[in-house]
Structure 1
């Protein structure tokens, strides 16, 4: 099977993990050779309720028995879309009251950028160094990492990159700026939370200049930070909110959320000026609705904070620089690339999936599912500590 995978599936690296998956359940992935792995990265912050949560699977089965795709986005009334949009917006600030469904995070960013330019009539965009917003051309244009941008230049013009968490360059946000886009917690950039006061200053600068503030919560959304969305930790509300990853419990889905007033601009000059065939697919929408209902009904936000406390308390010692982040969106900073590589590989050999972020080879991503119980969490943390001690 692996040889066919390498022959027929386009590869993005020379060293894919190559696990032949048999099935997945809860916090575990099982392979065809009988091994069990603890998914401590949740499919990269996707499976926050674990794999195949029974309520999500039930919702998928029920919708499959009714209908699949019936019409391109926005033309037919489909109950799964309406139910999910109603529940989502009822748990957001009042001005975030309409949802545009897409298929992925990068599509959410693309739509948000277009919406901001259309609404403001401006073209200038402000983004931040070391950010990551996706790999399509618009998203890549506002991603602050030259190593990924350079092969595809020229990208969108008039994009300005500022230092994250720095007050010094905020005057770049002016009356020509359509939007400022940021992750409240930089993910691939190294799990770097924004400073609360800096975020408030950025919000005020947008208000004063008429620029829209876009929050990319594709990785930090849906309970991972200890709140439904990361911006709730800051009491700063964006004009446009980008979502994906954990939205639909493992089904492909993304969205950008804004106000009715702002979304009006997609209706004219010309009509249908932003469309998608599969956005808001009814099966994904049904899964997302079940996923959100479960998140809101359980103790998952508190569990994210408990996981944070336990990890930050436990992972200390020689070779460990720090653990940073919020809730169950954490980064373990080690002292060297060699140590990081050895720890990730040693844990993999012992059945624990960890990951590096795209922008740092000394940072290990820790994004466990929110269903993880203390016994298994302690087992994983002990294994990580043992590996650090062995290879430090």
Structure 2
């Protein structure tokens, strides 16, 4: 039996990973600051966190809290992070502190107290645009869309002759294209961990999560995953609000599949030093996801509100190529989207959410971060 530390372990993905590890016989400790934006005020232990998880309430930027959390552990999952593309564009210091400085504090502690494995939660956001195919069949990286293009509601990426490019699955080999402060901070987290792990012989694995969904998402956090944001609106009988035209494609993956991939990253010797996409490998449009969620929640009459606006930091299409994770980790998504959303709807039926989406949108608009 090994003892594992999960920073951010009281959160959405961290708590599901704790369940996965406990079921396999691991001991689990969590370090979590219980941020009010995620957990509400009061800093109470979440009811969903398994009673066998040892919870240390503390800040990942606090050296003493980190050192305490590391005592006696054999492996570390570093999930603690401020999450949100839009918010990161104006709370720059907060995102840089939590994500960059917090990782640096953890790594300095690990240099003094090495572990058998470090797994860092990275993000698909660091890709920026995914890969695209030209009409001639050439695969190329998507560039940035100009403000002039976005102002005329021309959302797609085009070739030099104006032909629309077709999105294709994005592998780990794609170059980063950092479109937000959040993306930059996740890239820094990933690189810092892999670099330090290599230098100090700490086997390290980076997992680039795509859009995870499932029970326990923070429904009152307007900067969390898109499905949770849509669910918050629908629970309050309000339409999901979608930027651009809603036809942008993303990769939605069940949190149970994410947790399984995380365990495999711990247990697979060949994973050390590598980066893996963790997604479903199946693209879905954001508009279709909003419509499907309304249906499974019994709110078929609430159509999504298509804003026709661009949010700074957003990209058009990105969905995963999971071939490397399949080959090296033996990872295979097991939860189909219909099944996962049905379970999500069942969980949502017993939840309440404070709808803060309009407030978040106003924050972005006031700072000129929507076009």
Higher relative contact order (CA 8 A, sep 6+): 1
Same-fold status (TM-score > 0.5): no
Larger Rg: 1
> What TM-score results when the alignment is normalised by the length of structure 1?
0.32
